[in-house]
């Protein structure tokens, strides 16, 4: 997951895809499909193929808390990019409930993801044409620091 994430950040999505496909067979059988499907969804999202990314993501089972957190975050980003407002609002609310109820998540990790949910909601409340409000929100995201997917949030407020 980390290798694919770093590779996509430096726009090496073709290399990352080959890596994921080549090393899939070396992953523990218990995690193989989840890891591969999540990585493919992540790659497709990076390529702006949001519909395909969502299809791949829907095949990820939430058996591991970290895949659940990252998958839900990616799902929210996909719905945002697809401008699927109803699905986005539903996913944000479901994620908030999940974070509150799941006792295996540490308080610090919970805070990072709750901040993500909070800032996505705030982005949605700012009119796209209001550059002053977007700039203020951009600064608040930077000040908060402990936020999941902070780069994506900053892009949305740039």
- On whether the CB atoms of residues 53 and 74 are closer than 8 A, the answer is yes
pLDDT at residue 151, as a whole number: 94
pLDDT at residue 134, as a whole number: 96
pLDDT at residue 82, as a whole number: 98
pLDDT at residue 15, as a whole number: 75
Read off the pLDDT of each residue in 104-127 and give the average, rounded to a whole number. 97
Average pLDDT, the chain: 90
Read off the pLDDT of each residue in 11-24 and give the average, rounded to a whole number. 74
- On whether the CB atoms of residues 153 and 119 are closer than 8 A, the answer is yes
**Helices 50-57/65-81 angle, 10° precision:** 150
d(CA 115, CA 92): 11
pLDDT at residue 83, as a whole number: 96
pLDDT in tens, 54-112: 999 999 887 788 889 999 999 999 999 999 999 999 999 999 999 999 999 999 999 99
pLDDT at residue 21, as a whole number: 75
Q: Is the model's pLDDT at 1 over the cut of 70?
A: no
Q: How would residue 152 be classed by pLDDT, with cut points 50, 70 and 90?
A: very high
pLDDT at residue 118, as a whole number: 98
Stronger pLDDT, 121 or 65, i.e. the higher one? 121
């Amino acid at each position: 997951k980390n290798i694919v994430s770093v590779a996509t950040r430096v726009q090496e999505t073709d290399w990352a895809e080959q890596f994921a496909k080549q090393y899939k067979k070396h992953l523990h059988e218990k995690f193989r499909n989840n890891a591969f499907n999540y990585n493919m969804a992540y790659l497709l999202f990076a390529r702006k193929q949001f519909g395909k990314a969502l299809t791949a993501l829907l095949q990820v089972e939430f058996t591991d808390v970290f895949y659940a957190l990252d998958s839900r975050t990616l799902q929210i980003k996909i719905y945002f990019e697809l401008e699927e407002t109803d699905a986005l609002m539903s996913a944000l609310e479901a994620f908030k409930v999940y974070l509150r109820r799941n006792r295996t998540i540490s308080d610090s990790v919970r805070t990072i993801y709750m901040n993500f949910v909070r800032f996505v909601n705030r982005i949605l409340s700012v009119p796209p044409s209001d550059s002053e409000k977007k700039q203020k929100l951009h600064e608040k995201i930077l000040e908060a620091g402990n936020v999941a997917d902070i780069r994506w949030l900053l892009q949305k407020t740039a």
